[in-house]
């Protein structure tokens, strides 16, 4: 059994996937230390020839899925995983040669930890990506976790936990499936540690101001649905802070005459409320989705 099961749900990317595969070939733990499960949602791109070139360089399973949806397809990968630790890389991220080795060492140093999370970092430019990350280890809790994790830097000991298939890319509630996954683990008492030495590269393009408007709305609805599903004092406070942030930036950009920027922030604000209300309404009349 491999130490790691890397579950990669992919759609619409070819060159980025090749770069990720190349990054796996350089892992210092060697190819016997991990398995890669590619859950392939493509209908226009044939990944078989690409993946075939790597079949003797790592333990690789290619699963074709006719259903679009990040959470649904990550769950397919989880059901097939055999490693002691599972991870969820994006198809446009890259691991550094020591990424998996550092994760293994982090779990050895924290034997009671159920999850380890790391930083998104550009080693060439020596700078953090997406957000500022702490420079020291931090134990996550329900109050501080939100800015200390990313799905692509999440490494979890295998459990029966699954992603909520109502949330995530490919669904109307188009994001925050990973937030829900981490929060539920924390709520159940799972110890989770942020380890800055664990680093993954990802394109630095995830801010609201760089997303297409449709994605802004979809992610916003996902955030609202996450809040509705896990409503408690820490989540309510997080939700209100997010609303306040987007509303404040909306007002500031209106005052500057930046109509496009203001429209984005209003969409981010209003879609969060929409997601909250819709999820609360829907779940009054039907049971929650399998998670």
- Taking only the tens place, the pLDDT of each residue in 84-102 is 999 999 999 999 999 999 9
Provide the pLDDT confidence category of residue 172 given band limits of 50, 70 and 90: confident
* Per-residue pLDDT tens digits for 189-198: 999 999 999 9
Taking Cα atoms as reference points, which of 221, 229, 290, 226 lies closest to residue 72? 290
262-274 pLDDT, tens digit each: 999 999 999 999 9
Q: How far is CA 131 from CA 39, 53, 111, 183, in A?
A: 28, 35, 28, 20
CATH 3.30.70.100 fits 4-201, yes or no: no
pLDDT tens-digit series, residues 26-57 = 999 999 999 999 999 999 899 999 999 999 99
Give the pLDDT confidence score for residue 291 in this predicted structure. Answer: 40
One DSSP character per residue, 112-126 reads T-SEEEEEEEETTTT
Q: What is the largest CA-CA distance in the chain?
A: 59
**What residue ranges do the domains of the chain occupy?**
4-201, 208-285
What pLDDT does residue 159 have?
87
Tokens 């692509």 correspond to 152
Residue 71: pLDDT over 50: yes
Radius of gyration of the chain measured on its C-alpha atoms: 19
Average pLDDT, the chain: 93
pLDDT of 288 higher than 60: no
Reading the block at residue 187, the tokens are: 């709520």
What percent of the chain stands above pLDDT 70?
96
- Tokens at residue 260, please? 């496009």
Instruction: Please give the Cα distance from 222 to 167 (Å, whole number).
Output: 6
Question: Per residue in 224-267, pLDDT tens?
Answer: 999 999 999 999 999 999 999 999 999 999 999 999 999 999 99
Q: Are strands 4-10 and 85-87 parallel, antiparallel or unpaired?
A: parallel
Model pLDDT, residue 290 = 43
pLDDT at 211: 77
**pLDDT greater than 70 at residue 208:** no
- Give how far the C-alpha of residue 268 lies from the chain's centroid of Cα atoms, to the nearest Å: 19
């Amino acid at each position: 059994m491999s130490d790691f099961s890397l579950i990669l749900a992919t759609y619409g990317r070819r060159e980025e996937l090749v770069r990720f595969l190349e990054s796996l070939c350089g892992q210092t733990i060697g190819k016997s230390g991990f398995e890669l499960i590619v859950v392939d949602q493509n209908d226009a791109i044939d990944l078989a020839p690409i993946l075939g070139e790597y079949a003797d360089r790592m333990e690789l399973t290619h699963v074709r899925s006719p259903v679009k949806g990040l959470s649904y397809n990550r769950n397919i990968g989880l059901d097939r995983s055999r490693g002691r630790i599972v991870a969820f890389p994006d198809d446009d991220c890259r691991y550094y040669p020591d990424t998996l080795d550092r994760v293994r060492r982090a779990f050895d140093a924290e034997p009671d930890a159920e999850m380890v999370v790391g930083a998104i970092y550009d080693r060439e430019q020596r700078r953090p990506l997406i957000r500022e990350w702490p420079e020291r280890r931090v134990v996550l809790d329900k109050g501080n976790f939100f800015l200390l994790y990313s799905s692509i830097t999440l490494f979890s000991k295998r459990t029966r936990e699954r992603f909520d298939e109502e949330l995530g890319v490919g669904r109307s509630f188009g994001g925050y499936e990973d937030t829900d996954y981490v929060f539920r683990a924390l709520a159940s008492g799972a110890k989770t540690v942020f380890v800055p030495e664990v680093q993954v590269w990802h394109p630095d393009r995830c801010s609201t101001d760089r997303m297409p408007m449709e994605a802004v709305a979809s992610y916003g609805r996902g955030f609202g649905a996450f809040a509705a599903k896990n409503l408690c004092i820490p989540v309510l406070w997080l939700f209100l802070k997010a609303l306040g942030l987007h509303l404040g930036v909306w007002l500031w950009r209106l005052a500057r005459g930046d109509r496009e920027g203001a429209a984005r922030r209003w969409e981010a604000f209003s879609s969060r409320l929409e997601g909250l209300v819709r999820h609360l309404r829907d779940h009054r009349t039907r049971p929650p989705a399998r998670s």
